[in-house]
Amino acid sequence: MSPDLPIGTHLTTQRRGYVHHGLYIGHGRVIHYAGLKALLHRGPIEEVTLDQFSGGRGWQVKERANPAFTGDAAVERARTRLGEDRYRVWSNNCEHFVEWCLSGTPRSAQVEQWVRWLLGGFIGLRSQHA
């Protein structure tokens, strides 16, 4: 049964060590960046069922304040990239993709948080050795 979600809804699902992102396109379907599917094998941007997207881990709606693109416009943006296979953890991941669909700007708060954490640890190490 398809959930009662507006098309263009930003969805997330918890994975081991990160949160996966996708865009709900209606009728129980999601477009997402498959990313690293098996070890280091990249997967393309693809359309899957909500169950395939969540991988049995459940899913959540990520609330957004005033996205630049909503509904059909966001879904059409996502569809223009179907089949793209240029996944990069740090610069072109599933969150970058959904953020681009909704705001026009590819961005990943997770990557930004990881970079702050890594830089914080690096700066801490440097100050210990200074």
pLDDT in tens, the chain (130 residues): 567 899 999 999 998 888 999 999 999 999 999 976 656 667 899 999 999 999 999 999 999 889 999 999 999 999 999 999 999 989 999 999 999 999 999 999 999 988 888 887 655 545 554 5
Q: Please state which architecture CATH assigns to domain 10-128.
A: Alpha-Beta Complex (3.90)
Residues 39 and 36: their CA atoms lie apart, in Å, by 7
**Domain locations in the chain?**
10-128
Cα 71 off chain centre by: 17
What global pTM score does this model have?
A: 0.87
Q: Mark 30-67 as b/e (b = at least 16 C-beta within 10 Å).
A: bbbbbbeeeeeeeeebbbbebeebbeeeebeebebeeb
